[in-house]
Amino acid sequence: MKKLTLFFLSLLALGFGFQACDNTKTYAEMLEEEKDGINAYIRDHNIKVISQKEFYDQDSTTNVDDNEFVQLASGVYMQIVDRGSTNRADTVKNNDQVLVRFMEYGILQKDTTLSNLNSTEIVDEFRYTVSSSSIAGLFLQEYMYSYYGTQVPAGWLVPLPYIRNYAHVKLIVPSKMGHQNAMQAVYPYYYDIQKYQIWN
């Protein structure tokens, strides 16, 4: 009986020892690291964050000269560099195909992780769909499709109500609004999307 008790106590002590050596982060710690990373990126790049009210008061635009980004309710930070077409009807509609030129920068990795800006013959393409309860985008080809699968990051769809054909937008996308890899790793990304082109 003594040997059995000693054995269980040894196992218990060993278990506590392994637990003390566990270097994995909790989800809460990863979210805190993400928040700190985004705040550091905003500070280091002299970004002026404005409220949604200020954004709407400015006719849903951001002042590029002041490096303004609006923080939206989704957690996405957005700068509209160029709203696009002057024709108000030139907006993305249900079932449109959209071509994009973009650069993806990992905020925590501090490095460009993906880009098609220098690939003159390559543009990423997705189909935009709207239902009564949701909006979605499915990649059809190229880099984002190859690296992350078919689901368009929700953060990429956030600008669509505010822009038109050929718009240029910059985004800071928290992990919950990112692609599958971003959500799993709790990594935020900065995107420079230099063209949202409607391709019917």
Write the pLDDT tens digit of every residue in 78-112. 999 999 999 999 999 999 999 999 999 999 999 99
* pLDDT of res. 20: 46
- Intervals of the chain under pLDDT 50: 4, 6-7, 18, 20
* pLDDT of res. 4: 47
* pLDDT of res. 154: 95
Distance of CA 104 to the CA centre of its chain: 9
The 3 state secondary structure assigned to the chain is: CHHHHHHHHHHHHHHHHHHHCCCCCCHHHHHHHHHHHHHHHHHHCCCEEECHHHHHHCCCCCCCCCCEEEECCCCCEEEEEECCCCCCCCCCCCCCEEEEEEEEEECCCCEEEEECCCCCCCCEEEEEEECCCCEEEEEEECHHHHHHCCECCHHHHCCHHHCCCCEEEEEEECHHHCCHHHHHHCCCEEEEEEEEEEEC
